[in-house]
Structure 1
């Protein structure tokens, strides 16, 4: 995209879908690591969340979204006494990833719906363009 070419609805929806795909991947990673343990709080898995950035295209008046960065968020790992665990530290403690599985599942459903909404935007725009072309015949 150059400075002179305005953003299309397909580019806007495509960027939104890409951002939601990143969100889905971080959510899946969080769920996959739920209940995981480590020998220290620093080594324990921490929940990841994407940070979105919105941009405004003055030529079209459309806003887009991109992933600016991925950050760790949520609670600190939970310390649990489990001396039989091979991951336990010298004091017999393990640190369990504090992943809120319910919240992650809600995020996953919301992400899937947002992604699907953008697919529908693209399909609707395509249909409108094709119908407009047909009118010119």
Structure 2
């Protein structure tokens, strides 16, 4: 295990958290977007995006053997669309309403997004703290011989 291993783990988590924060902010910004994509000749509302994160796999056979002893950090697996259905809201004055006066709204729940935003920002802050603690320990180790 390298002296920089803890920094690598924190760095990978920071990168994943940053991407998750970007996706959450995109979801919040598009919470009322009724024209997200043009599919099959009609506009479809914005569909909520989610980030899938998984453990990073070891790169070599030796690291694979030692994987039980060490953690290699995380990586973003992919960004997927939330399959929950759109919400139908009665608003006949909206230009995107159908014949019955209903508008299909995005499947973005602002409460859920705010909870995800707060937990992801707390995870980001915790990883910054862990990164700084590791960096501080390395700096202290360099001054031991003086």
In structure 2, the residue matched to 1:19 is 16
Residues 83, 93 of structure 1: 8 Å contact kept: yes
2:123 pairs, out of 114, 121, 133, with: 114
Gaps of 5+ in 2: none
2:112 pairs, out of 97, 100, 103, with: 103
CA RMSD of aligned residues (A): 2.5
Q: How far off its partner does 1:88 sit?
A: 2.2
Gaps of 5+ in 1: none
Residues 16, 64 of structure 1: 8 Å contact kept: yes
Distance in 1, Cα, partners of 2:79 & 2:43 = 18
1:86 pairs, out of 95, 119, 126, with: 95
TM-score by length of 2: 0.79
Query: What is the 5 A alignment of 1:55-94?
Result: 55-57=56-58, 58=63, 61-73=70-82, 75-94=84-103
* Aligned length, in residue pairs: 133
Q: Verify: 1:36 aligned to 2:33, yes or no.
A: yes
Distance in 2, Cα, partners of 1:6 & 1:134 = 15
Q: How far off its partner does 1:83 sit?
A: 2.8
Task: Render the CA deviation track for 1:57-95: whole Å, top value 9, x for unaligned.
Answer: 435712311111000115211123433211223554321
